[in-house]
Structure 1
Amino acid sequence: MDARSVAGAAVRGIAGGRGRRAANGGARRRSASGCAHAGACRRRTGGDDEPAAPATGRRHRVTVMTRPQRATRASGQARTTVLVTGFGPFPGVPVNATMLLLPALSLPATKLFPDVHFVFEVLPTEWSAGPRRLERLLAETTPDLALHFGVSSRARGFEIEQRARNACAATQDASGALPTGAAIREGGAEHLPASLPVRHIVARLHQRGIPAFVSRDAGTYLCNAALYHSLVCAKDKDAAGRRVGFVHIPATLARPGGPNRGRTGACPLTWDETLDGALEILAACLGRARPGARPA
């Protein structure tokens, strides 16, 4: 299977759900372009070793609901909505591990947390289209939690980012374009802190024997850009209480034929550990317990 086939399979497997506030028109009241800060958000982006999603994956979402979810929707009860994003290929990375992770994660996450609406989407790794698509997703789904995944050639396990930086490198995106400037948002804060319990997440991953680290540098490519944009949009009045964070995984977890399932010196994280770790991160962010934790 070549990179294009892998990307197509990933997109077809992505699962999603509409945010709980969409029912009362919350998403419709937002502008079509996204959050209230859209002018700043779309201007440009930066992040490091970050993936890009193929254009074909921008709008392909499939709603997956278990019976408990359907029952909850019918009763009108409010549920937590979680947006999970990844990226597609970008220069130097023909297959992005996150575009394989999302479809693999969708079914077990839905089964483990049947009372939660999940939206899984691969974003375009493009300075203009990526932030624009992310803003639209945030407006449409109004998530309680926005969890973004990307890849890094430096990662040796899960790297949980503590903050985003208002900077972007003059590096080509998946379409060959460059950012329009050196800052994501002119006049914006130099750094924005992630709103996830970063150290708690790392501790829980360690309890399961999974390599994980706290990171204070999300880079200056599209990973960092996505995190910065998402944090800016979380300041919107309609996003009160939203938690936002970013997780880097090793770029070597994927290859042209699919996931790299074995453990190597370059990638001490296995594919099974990656799936288990991603579920543990979701559980930690949702304040849920999972069986199977090892003593610290």
Structure 2
Amino acid sequence: MKILITGFEPFGGETVNPSWEAAQLLAGQQVQGASLVVAQLPCVFAKSLDALAAAIQLHQPRAVIALGQADGRSDFSIERVAINVCDARIPDNEGAQPIDEPVIAQGPAAYFSSLPIKKMAMHLKAKGHPAAISQTAGTFVCNQVFYGLQHLLCNTPVLSGFVHVPLLPSQVAARGGPSLASMSSETLAQALLCAIEVLVQHLQSDERDIKWGMGANH
């Protein structure tokens, strides 16, 4: 069993992106028999979904967790829903700034995460990690990737979803001004491992149900 973790390259003038810094720390690790693989996505509207599809094709994962940076958030924000719109407040890394454009033309208005988001959030909190279910993934490249991910996998058994993470302490220090919430890449990686533990248990439970002909309804 493989679980794919994606993170973004830096954007908006930053030199690092916490989503990728955390993802890199998980590369090659094992969680209850599941192998973790990682991929970096470009923060570019025209390229992110192709890079995502290529990573999924390469690794053939059983589940995908896409990560993204969220300024101002103080917790591990597990996203519930992706919407079919790109509405960029700033240009992407190649200068594109789509306004009120669909992620997928003629696609549904929204997709929900197929990850066990409530179980993941509860486990994270029990382990002392600040975590919450978020009801909006924004309208920048993070939401585009979340929506595109769910669209790509909607008719497959692969579970998938998106998590926003806070800034790194170095990013906050570089900005100066008012104090912003932050987490180290190591703390983010540990929180991810906690969430992945729940995900693997969920997947293994589904597989046991299928093996014994019980089906699964989560």
TM-score (norm 1): 0.61
User: How do residues 262-281 of structure 1 correspond to structure 2 at under 5 angstroms?
Assistant: 266-267=180-181, 269-281=183-195
- The 1-side partners of 2:194 and 2:99 are apart by 37
In the alignment, what sits opposite 2:6? 85
- The 1-side partners of 2:104 and 2:98 are apart by 12
Say whether 1:241 aligns with 2:157: yes
- Secondary structure in 1 matching 2:27: helix
- The 1-side partners of 2:149 and 2:61 are apart by 11
Question: Residues 81 and 136 of structure 2 are in contact (CA less than 8 Å); yes or no, is this contact kept in structure 1?
Answer: yes
Aligned match for 2:80, one of 147, 162, 171: 162
Aligned match for 1:147, one of 57, 62, 65: 65
- 1:251 is displaced (CA, Å) by 2.1
Aligned match for 1:105, one of 4, 23, 26: 26
Question: Residues 84 and 146 of structure 1 are in contact (CA less than 8 Å); yes or no, is this contact kept in structure 2?
Answer: yes
- Secondary structure in 2 matching 1:85: strand
Q: Note the residue ranges of structure 1 that are not aligned, 5 or more in a row.
A: 1-79, 258-263, 289-296
- 1:105 is displaced (CA, Å) by 1.9
Q: Note the residue ranges of structure 2 that are not aligned, 5 or more in a row.
A: 203-218
Aligned match for 1:284, one of 192, 198, 201: 198
Say whether 1:188 aligns with 2:188: no
- 1:268 is displaced (CA, Å) by 5.5
- 1:116 is displaced (CA, Å) by 2.3
- The 2-side partners of 1:272 and 1:117 are apart by 19
- The 2-side partners of 1:158 and 1:265 are apart by 18
- The 2-side partners of 1:268 and 1:252 are apart by 5
- The 1-side partners of 2:172 and 2:77 are apart by 23
- 1:188 is displaced (CA, Å) by 1.2
1:204–1:265 Cα change, 3 Å: farther
Matching residue's letter, 2:194: E
Query: Aligned pairs, how many?
Result: 198
RMSD: 2.4
- Secondary structure in 2 matching 1:148: strand
- Secondary structure in 2 matching 1:224: helix
Percent identity of equivalent pairs: 24
Question: Residues 153 and 252 of structure 1 are in contact (CA less than 8 Å); yes or no, is this contact kept in structure 2?
Answer: no
- The 2-side partners of 1:95 and 1:132 are apart by 22
User: How do residues 1-296 of structure 1 correspond to structure 2 at under 5 angstroms?
Assistant: 80-107=1-28, 109-110=29-30, 112-113=31-32, 115-170=33-88, 171-179=90-98, 182-236=101-155, 240-255=156-171, 266-267=180-181, 269-287=183-201
- The 2-side partners of 1:124 and 1:181 are apart by 21
Per-residue CA deviation, residues 218-268 of structure 1 (Å, 9 max, x unaligned), is 0001111111111011024xxx211001111112445399xxxxxx95226
If you compute each CA radius of gyration, which structure gives the higher value, 1 or 2?
A: 1
Matching residue's letter, 1:160: I
- The 2-side partners of 1:267 and 1:83 are apart by 27
- The 2-side partners of 1:276 and 1:191 are apart by 30
- Secondary structure in 2 matching 1:251: coil
1:271–1:216 Cα change, 3 Å: same
TM-score (norm 2): 0.82
- 1:128 is displaced (CA, Å) by 1.0
